A = this chain, B = another copy of it.
Amino acid sequence: MISRFSYGKPFPTGAVVRTIEPSRKPMPFFRIRREGTSVSFSLDLTPEEIIFGLGETVRGINKRGHLYESWNTDIFNHSEDRKSLYSSHNFLIFFRRDRLIGLYLDDSGRVIFDLGYTKRSEAVITSENGNLDVYLLEGGQLKDIVHEFREMIGRSYLPPRWAFGYLQSRWGYAGEEEVASVVEKHRERHIPLDGVCLDIDYMVDYQNFTWKKEAFPDWKKFNQRMKDEHIHLVPIIDAGIRVREGYSPYESGLEKDAFCRKESGDYFTASVWPGNCCFPDFLNKDARDWFGDLYRPLLEEGIEGFWNDMNEPALFFTKESMEEALSLVERQKEREDDYEGMWALGSAFGSMANNPKDYQSFYHRTEQGTIRHDYVHNLYGAYMTKATADGIRRFMPDRRYLLFSRSSFIGAHRDGGIWQGDNFSWWSHIRLALQMLPGLNMCGFLFCGCDLGGFGQNTTEDLLARFLQLGVFTPLMRNHSALHTREQEIYRFETWEAMRGTVQVRYALLPYLYSEFMKAALRDEMYFRPLAFDYPEDDRAVHTEDQLMLGENCMIAPVYEANAEGRYVYLPEDMLMIRFRSAEDYDLERMEKGDHYIRLRLHEFPLFVRKNSFILLGKGAESTDELDDSSLTALGWLEKEAEYAFYRDDGVCTCPSLNQGLTSIRLKPGDNTLIYPAATSAKDDSDYS
Contact = CB atoms under 8 A, between A and B. Distances in A.
B494 A119 contact: yes
A495 B65 CA distance: 14
B322 A336 contact: yes
Given A50-B563, A540-B597, A595-B595, A342 B346 contact: no
A493 to B, nearest CB: 8
Contacts of A66: 460, 562
Contact of A346 (B47, B329, B346): B346
A46 interface: no
A60 interface: yes
Contacts of A325: 345
A495 to B, nearest CB: 7
Number of copies: 2
B597 A426 contact: no
**Chain B CB within 10 Å, residue with most, of A326, A562, A570:** A562
**Chain B CB within 10 Å, residue with most, of A80, A545, A570:** A80
A252 interface: no
Interface string A271-306: 111011000000000000000000000000000000
A427 B595 contact: no
Nearest to A465: B120
Interface in A444-461: 457-458, 460-461
A653 to B, nearest CB: 43
Given A120-B462, A342-B317, A332 B336 contact: no
B329 A494 contact: no
Interface string A69-90: 0000000010111000000000
A588 B596 CA distance: 23
Interface in A99-153: 117, 119-121
A631 interface: no
Contact of A350 (B316, B347, B428, B461): B347
A564 interface: yes
A565 B80 CA distance: 20
B317 A81 contact: no
B322 A62 contact: no
A343 B325 CA distance: 12
Nearest to A493: B120
Contact of A342 (B322, B458, B463): B322
A169 B192 CA distance: 56
A565 B462 CA distance: 30
A64 interface: yes
A425 B81 contact: yes
A333 B326 CA distance: 8
A563 B59 CA distance: 10
Contacts of A425: 81
Contacts of A339: 271-273, 275, 316-317
A41 interface: no
A565 B540 CA distance: 9
Contact of A349 (B272, B342, B564): B342
A171 to B, nearest CB: 15
Given A349-B346, A352-B342, A543-B564, A79 B80 contact: no
B275 A337 contact: yes
A458 B64 CA distance: 15
Interface in A315-360: 316-317, 319, 322, 325-326, 329, 332-333, 336-339, 342-343, 345-352
A337 B563 contact: no
Interface of A: 47, 50, 59-60, 62, 64-67, 77, 79-81, 117, 119-121, 271-273, 275-276, 316-317, 319, 322, 325-326, 329, 332-333, 336-339, 342-343, 345-352, 424-428, 457-458, 460-463, 493-495, 539-540, 543, 545, 561-566, 568, 570, 595-597, 602
- For the complex of A and B, the 6 pairs showing the least CB-CB separation, nearest first, are A346-B350, A346-B349, A350-B350, A568-B568, A62-B563, A316-B339
12 contacts: A50-B563, A62-B563, A119-B494, A120-B461, A275-B339, A317-B339, A317-B342, A319-B336, A346-B351, A543-B564, A568-B597, A595-B595
Given A271-B337, A272-B339, 19 more contacts: A60-B562, A62-B562, A64-B562, A66-B562, A80-B426, A80-B428, A81-B458, A117-B460, A120-B460, A120-B462, A120-B495, A316-B342, A317-B339, A319-B336, A326-B329, A343-B350, A349-B350, A540-B597, A543-B566
